[in-house]
Amino acid sequence: MPLQVEEYNIGQLYNVVEMSKENIGTKVKIEHNDDHNHPEFGFCRKTVKKMDLSSHLPSVITFFFPSKLFKLEETSFNSYPECRTFYKSCFANESTFNMSIHSKHLEGIQENVFGEEYEIVDLNLGKKILDKRFNVFNFQNEKSKKIFMTDGWLNKCKTENIPFMTCHKLISLELNCIKEKWLAEKVFGEINNFFIKTHQRIYATADDWYNLKMEDIRKLENDTFLQK
Protein backbone atom coordinates (compact mmCIF):
# COMPACT_ATOMS: atom_id res chain seq x y z
CA MET A 1 0.00 0.00 0.00
CA PRO A 2 1.25 3.57 -0.72
CA LEU A 3 1.34 4.41 2.99
CA GLN A 4 3.95 4.82 5.67
CA VAL A 5 3.81 2.23 8.44
CA GLU A 6 2.69 4.75 11.08
CA GLU A 7 0.04 6.17 8.75
CA TYR A 8 -1.40 2.70 8.31
CA ASN A 9 -1.72 2.29 12.07
CA ILE A 10 -3.92 5.38 12.34
CA GLY A 11 -5.94 4.45 9.27
CA GLN A 12 -6.54 0.91 10.46
CA LEU A 13 -7.59 1.88 13.99
CA TYR A 14 -9.86 4.63 12.65
CA ASN A 15 -11.62 2.20 10.35
CA VAL A 16 -11.97 -0.43 13.08
CA VAL A 17 -13.98 2.16 14.99
CA GLU A 18 -16.06 3.09 11.94
CA MET A 19 -16.73 -0.56 11.08
CA SER A 20 -17.71 -1.22 14.68
CA LYS A 21 -20.31 1.56 14.40
CA GLU A 22 -21.72 0.00 11.26
CA ASN A 23 -21.21 -3.59 12.45
CA ILE A 24 -20.90 -4.54 8.75
CA GLY A 25 -23.61 -7.17 9.06
CA THR A 26 -21.97 -8.63 12.16
CA LYS A 27 -23.09 -8.43 15.78
CA VAL A 28 -20.07 -7.26 17.76
CA LYS A 29 -19.67 -6.62 21.49
CA ILE A 30 -16.48 -5.00 22.78
CA GLU A 31 -15.68 -6.50 26.18
CA HIS A 32 -12.18 -5.14 26.74
CA ASN A 33 -10.00 -2.49 25.10
CA ASP A 34 -7.05 -1.30 27.16
CA ASP A 35 -3.26 -1.25 27.49
CA HIS A 36 -1.77 -4.53 28.64
CA ASN A 37 1.59 -6.07 29.56
CA HIS A 38 1.74 -9.53 27.99
CA PRO A 39 4.39 -11.98 29.26
CA GLU A 40 5.39 -12.90 25.69
CA PHE A 41 4.29 -9.98 23.49
CA GLY A 42 5.26 -7.17 25.85
CA PHE A 43 3.39 -3.85 26.10
CA CYS A 44 0.38 -3.91 23.79
CA ARG A 45 -3.25 -2.97 23.37
CA LYS A 46 -5.49 -5.86 24.37
CA THR A 47 -8.95 -6.03 22.81
CA VAL A 48 -11.55 -8.72 23.44
CA LYS A 49 -14.64 -8.93 21.25
CA LYS A 50 -17.61 -11.26 21.04
CA MET A 51 -19.03 -11.52 17.55
CA ASP A 52 -21.67 -13.41 15.62
CA LEU A 53 -20.50 -14.07 12.06
CA SER A 54 -23.37 -16.33 11.03
CA SER A 55 -25.22 -13.60 9.12
CA HIS A 56 -21.98 -12.55 7.43
CA LEU A 57 -21.12 -15.91 5.86
CA PRO A 58 -22.33 -17.40 2.56
CA SER A 59 -25.38 -19.64 2.88
CA VAL A 60 -23.35 -22.51 1.40
CA ILE A 61 -21.37 -22.57 4.68
CA THR A 62 -24.21 -21.98 7.15
CA PHE A 63 -26.31 -24.66 5.42
CA PHE A 64 -23.93 -27.40 6.58
CA PHE A 65 -22.94 -26.06 10.00
CA PRO A 66 -24.94 -24.76 12.99
CA SER A 67 -24.95 -20.98 13.25
CA LYS A 68 -23.70 -21.09 16.85
CA LEU A 69 -20.35 -22.44 15.56
CA PHE A 70 -19.70 -18.94 14.17
CA LYS A 71 -20.26 -17.10 17.44
CA LEU A 72 -16.65 -16.23 18.16
CA GLU A 73 -14.47 -14.59 20.77
CA GLU A 74 -11.64 -12.52 19.31
CA THR A 75 -8.67 -11.59 21.50
CA SER A 76 -5.99 -9.37 19.99
CA PHE A 77 -2.67 -8.14 21.35
CA ASN A 78 -1.62 -5.15 19.29
CA SER A 79 2.04 -4.22 19.75
CA TYR A 80 2.16 -2.37 16.45
CA PRO A 81 3.77 -2.81 13.97
CA GLU A 82 3.13 -6.38 15.07
CA CYS A 83 -0.21 -7.81 16.16
CA ARG A 84 -1.45 -11.24 17.19
CA THR A 85 -5.14 -12.13 17.10
CA PHE A 86 -6.74 -15.33 18.37
CA TYR A 87 -10.22 -16.68 17.64
CA LYS A 88 -12.19 -19.37 19.39
CA SER A 89 -15.77 -20.50 19.09
CA CYS A 90 -18.01 -19.73 22.04
CA PHE A 91 -19.78 -23.07 21.51
CA ALA A 92 -17.05 -25.42 20.24
CA ASN A 93 -13.88 -26.57 21.96
CA GLU A 94 -10.45 -25.58 20.67
CA SER A 95 -9.86 -29.01 19.15
CA THR A 96 -12.83 -28.37 16.83
CA PHE A 97 -12.04 -24.78 15.82
CA ASN A 98 -8.92 -22.73 16.47
CA MET A 99 -7.61 -19.79 14.44
CA SER A 100 -4.92 -17.17 14.85
CA ILE A 101 -3.60 -14.30 12.74
CA HIS A 102 -0.07 -12.97 13.18
CA SER A 103 0.34 -9.59 11.46
CA LYS A 104 3.49 -7.66 10.63
CA HIS A 105 3.39 -4.23 8.97
CA LEU A 106 6.68 -3.41 7.30
CA GLU A 107 8.12 -0.83 4.91
CA GLY A 108 8.57 -1.84 1.28
CA ILE A 109 8.59 -5.50 0.26
CA GLN A 110 10.32 -8.09 2.43
CA GLU A 111 10.48 -11.87 2.07
CA ASN A 112 9.77 -14.63 4.59
CA VAL A 113 9.05 -12.24 7.44
CA PHE A 114 7.69 -15.02 9.67
CA GLY A 115 10.68 -17.31 9.22
CA GLU A 116 8.76 -20.48 8.47
CA GLU A 117 7.19 -22.34 5.58
CA TYR A 118 3.71 -21.29 4.51
CA GLU A 119 1.58 -20.79 1.43
CA ILE A 120 1.86 -17.24 0.09
CA VAL A 121 -1.23 -15.50 -1.32
CA ASP A 122 -0.72 -12.05 -2.86
CA LEU A 123 -3.79 -9.87 -2.27
CA ASN A 124 -3.64 -7.05 -4.79
CA LEU A 125 -5.75 -4.11 -3.63
CA GLY A 126 -5.57 -2.52 -7.07
CA LYS A 127 -7.05 -5.45 -8.97
CA LYS A 128 -10.80 -5.29 -8.26
CA ILE A 129 -12.97 -3.02 -6.12
CA LEU A 130 -15.05 -5.08 -3.69
CA ASP A 131 -17.04 -2.18 -2.23
CA LYS A 132 -17.79 0.74 -4.55
CA ARG A 133 -17.83 3.12 -1.56
CA PHE A 134 -14.08 2.61 -1.22
CA ASN A 135 -12.67 2.92 -4.71
CA VAL A 136 -8.87 3.02 -4.53
CA PHE A 137 -8.80 4.00 -8.23
CA ASN A 138 -10.63 7.28 -7.58
CA PHE A 139 -11.24 8.75 -4.13
CA GLN A 140 -11.11 12.10 -2.34
CA ASN A 141 -7.45 12.88 -1.65
CA GLU A 142 -7.33 16.65 -1.16
CA LYS A 143 -5.79 16.35 2.33
CA SER A 144 -3.72 13.19 2.08
CA LYS A 145 -2.53 13.67 -1.54
CA LYS A 146 -2.38 9.88 -1.80
CA ILE A 147 -1.95 8.44 -5.28
CA PHE A 148 -4.66 6.33 -6.89
CA MET A 149 -3.93 2.59 -6.93
CA THR A 150 -4.35 2.24 -10.68
CA ASP A 151 -2.15 0.02 -12.87
CA GLY A 152 1.53 0.69 -12.23
CA TRP A 153 1.10 2.28 -8.80
CA LEU A 154 3.92 0.20 -7.31
CA ASN A 155 6.39 1.21 -10.02
CA LYS A 156 5.31 4.81 -9.52
CA CYS A 157 6.14 4.52 -5.81
CA LYS A 158 9.56 3.07 -6.58
CA THR A 159 10.53 5.57 -9.29
CA GLU A 160 9.17 8.65 -7.48
CA ASN A 161 10.31 7.64 -3.97
CA ILE A 162 6.76 7.46 -2.64
CA PRO A 163 6.66 5.49 0.65
CA PHE A 164 4.89 2.15 0.46
CA MET A 165 4.46 -0.80 2.80
CA THR A 166 3.25 -4.38 2.97
CA CYS A 167 0.80 -5.91 5.43
CA HIS A 168 1.96 -9.47 6.12
CA LYS A 169 -0.56 -11.82 7.74
CA LEU A 170 0.15 -15.39 8.79
CA ILE A 171 -3.12 -17.27 9.27
CA SER A 172 -3.25 -20.54 11.17
CA LEU A 173 -6.53 -22.47 11.07
CA GLU A 174 -7.33 -25.77 12.77
CA LEU A 175 -10.62 -27.50 11.99
CA ASN A 176 -11.75 -30.92 13.09
CA CYS A 177 -15.25 -31.45 11.76
CA ILE A 178 -17.15 -32.82 8.78
CA LYS A 179 -16.12 -31.34 5.42
CA GLU A 180 -13.15 -29.72 7.16
CA LYS A 181 -11.04 -29.29 4.00
CA TRP A 182 -13.95 -27.78 2.08
CA LEU A 183 -14.84 -25.49 4.99
CA ALA A 184 -11.22 -24.37 5.39
CA GLU A 185 -11.09 -23.34 1.73
CA LYS A 186 -14.32 -21.37 2.11
CA VAL A 187 -13.11 -19.70 5.32
CA PHE A 188 -9.80 -18.68 3.73
CA GLY A 189 -11.69 -17.29 0.73
CA GLU A 190 -13.87 -15.17 3.00
CA ILE A 191 -10.85 -14.00 5.00
CA ASN A 192 -9.02 -12.94 1.84
CA ASN A 193 -12.04 -10.97 0.63
CA PHE A 194 -12.36 -9.35 4.05
CA PHE A 195 -8.71 -8.30 4.01
CA ILE A 196 -9.05 -6.78 0.55
CA LYS A 197 -12.25 -4.92 1.49
CA THR A 198 -10.89 -3.51 4.73
CA HIS A 199 -7.56 -2.43 3.24
CA GLN A 200 -9.25 -0.78 0.27
CA ARG A 201 -11.39 1.02 2.82
CA ILE A 202 -8.36 2.12 4.87
CA TYR A 203 -6.67 3.60 1.83
CA ALA A 204 -9.73 5.19 0.20
CA THR A 205 -10.70 6.97 3.45
CA ALA A 206 -7.26 8.55 3.96
CA ASP A 207 -8.71 12.08 3.95
CA ASP A 208 -10.94 11.15 6.92
CA TRP A 209 -8.10 10.05 9.20
CA TYR A 210 -5.00 11.68 7.70
CA ASN A 211 -4.53 14.40 10.36
CA LEU A 212 -5.61 12.32 13.37
CA LYS A 213 -3.24 11.54 16.24
CA MET A 214 -3.26 8.48 18.49
CA GLU A 215 -5.01 10.42 21.25
CA ASP A 216 -7.80 11.21 18.76
CA ILE A 217 -8.11 7.51 17.97
CA ARG A 218 -8.30 6.53 21.64
CA LYS A 219 -11.06 9.10 22.22
CA LEU A 220 -13.01 7.72 19.25
CA GLU A 221 -12.56 4.19 20.61
CA ASN A 222 -13.74 5.15 24.08
CA ASP A 223 -16.72 7.12 22.79
CA THR A 224 -17.76 4.28 20.48
CA PHE A 225 -17.07 1.22 22.59
CA LEU A 226 -18.69 2.67 25.72
CA GLN A 227 -21.93 2.86 23.73
CA LYS A 228 -21.78 -0.86 22.88
The answer for residues whose C-beta is within 8 angstroms of residue 181's C-beta and 6 or more apart is none
Report the distance separating Cα 9 and Cα 214, nearest Å: 9
The answer for residues whose C-beta is within 8 angstroms of residue 211's C-beta and 6 or more apart is 143
Closest-CA residue to 103 (of 125, 72, 77, 136): 77
At 94 the pLDDT is: 67
At 61 the pLDDT is: 63
CATH number at residue 135: 3.30.530.20
Q: Could you read off the pLDDT of 148-162 as tens digits, one per residue?
A: 999 999 999 999 999
pLDDT over threshold 60, residue 46: yes
Q: Could you read off the pLDDT of 158-184 as tens digits, one per residue?
A: 999 999 999 999 999 887 766 667 778
Report the distance separating Cα 99 and Cα 79, nearest Å: 19
At 65 the pLDDT is: 65
pLDDT band at 215 (very low <50, low <70, confident <90, very high): very high
Closest-CA residue to 76 (of 51, 96, 97, 55): 51
pLDDT over threshold 60, residue 109: yes
Q: Could you read off the pLDDT of 135-150 as tens digits, one per residue?
A: 999 999 999 999 999 9
At 53 the pLDDT is: 72
pLDDT band at 30 (very low <50, low <70, confident <90, very high): confident
Lowest mean pLDDT among 29-33, 57-61, 179-183, 198-202: 57-61
Report the distance separating Cα 50 and Cα 205, nearest Å: 26
Is the distance from CB of 88 to CB of 157 less than 8 angstroms?
no
pLDDT band at 74 (very low <50, low <70, confident <90, very high): very high
More confident residue, 91 or 87: 87
Domain range enclosing 12: 5-225
- In the chain the first and final C-alpha atoms are separated, in Å, by 32
Q: Are strands 71-79 and 82-89 parallel, antiparallel or unpaired?
A: antiparallel
pLDDT band at 72 (very low <50, low <70, confident <90, very high): confident
Is the distance from CB of 87 to CB of 74 less than 8 angstroms?
yes
> E-assigned strands of the chain?
27-38, 42-52, 71-79, 82-89, 97-107, 165-175
Considering the entire predicted model, what is its pTM?
Answer: 0.89
SS3 of 44, please? strand
pLDDT band at 227 (very low <50, low <70, confident <90, very high): low
Domain count, the chain: 1
3 residue type, one letter: L
